[in-house]
Structure 1
Amino acid sequence: MHEKMASNFYILLCFCFLVHFSKGDERPNIVFMMADDLGYGDVGYNGGKASTPNLDDMASSTNSIRLDRYYSGGPVCSPTRGTILTGRNHNRYCVWTANAGGYTADFQKPENKPLPLTEVTIAELLSKAGYATYMFGKWHLECKTLMARPLATHRGTERKQIISNSFAHLE
C-alpha cells in the first residue's frame, strides 16, 4: 500500500520534452514540463478522464519527445528536481527529503540539505550555450532564508517565477 501511495503521490510524469526543430541550422527550442502529484493515466493522451487538449497536442506532435518511462530521482519533489537540474542521482548531492524552504536550522540535519552551489545545472549549461532560460514553479531546493531570493537566478535561470508556497495549487 505504501509503495502504491508513494507511486501515486509522486509519479514523475514528464508531460513532454518538446523539441521543435526549425529549418536550417537553427538550434531547437526546448520546453521541459514536469508536474508533481500527477499520475500516468491522469492526462488525456494516456487515456485519463481529464480534458488536456494542449498537452495531448504536444504529446502527439512529431516534433516532441515524450518520456513515458522517465522515473523520478526520488520519492518527493526536491530530490527529483535536483536530479533533473543536475543530471545526477540525488544521493550524490545530498538532497533526500522534500524541501519546502524550511528554517535554516533544518539544514543542520544531514537528511535536509539544499542543492550545493557546486552542482552544475542544465540551465547553466544551456545559458552558456546561448539559450534564454526561464523557470516557473516550485524551486524547493534551499532553506527559508534563501527562499526570499531563490538561487534560481544564480543557477543559470535568467528569468523566473518561483512559487514558494507548497500548497499554491490549493489557493
Structure 2
Amino acid sequence: MTMSLGRRTIVYVGGRRRIKRLPLSNFLGYRPASPVDRIRASQDYTDSAMFVAVETRYPHQPEAVVGSVEFGVVKTPNYGDWVYVTNVFAHKGYRGEGVEAEILRRLLEYIYEKNPRIIGAWARVYDDDDDFVFKDPIKKAYVEAGFIDRGKSRRATSMRRCCLL
C-alpha cells in the first residue's frame, strides 16, 4: 500500500511504514518560456531566449515557473553554431535539489532536437559577489549537466560542453 504526501510517499513494506522522498524531477516539466510566464531571473541579452522548469504537481493550477536558464545561438563562419548559456536560476525551495543541472540537461536536449547542427554549448560562471551567481552550486550544476571546466579567466570560470549527444 502507498500513500502520497506531496513529495513524500508512505510505503508499507512487510507491515512496516517507510517514508520515501520522491525526486523533484517527478513533478517538473521543462519547456521554452512563454510570454505569460513569471520569471524572476533577468534576461541579459536582447536576442536570447529563456527555457523554464515548471511545477506540474497540481494539474488544476496554472504552471508555476520554479527555475530558468537564458540561452542564445552564436553563429560563426569558422567554428559553426554554438549555444551560449547563462543565468541558470532556481527558486529558493528548489535550490540544491538538482533542478539547475536538470534544466541545463533538458535545454541541451531541446536545442539539439531543434537544431542538430549545433556543435556545442559554452558558459561563463562568474566568481564575484553577484547575488545571482550562487558560486559552487552553480558550477556543480554545469558539471552535472556535462559541461567541462576549462579554467579561470580574470573573473570567470569558462565551462564548455562540446557534444550534445
Q: TM-score, normalised by structure 1?
A: 0.28
Q: Which has a greater percent of helix? A: 1
Specify the structure having the higher radius of gyration (Cα): 2
Q: TM-score, normalised by structure 2?
A: 0.29
Q: Which has a greater percent of strand? A: 2
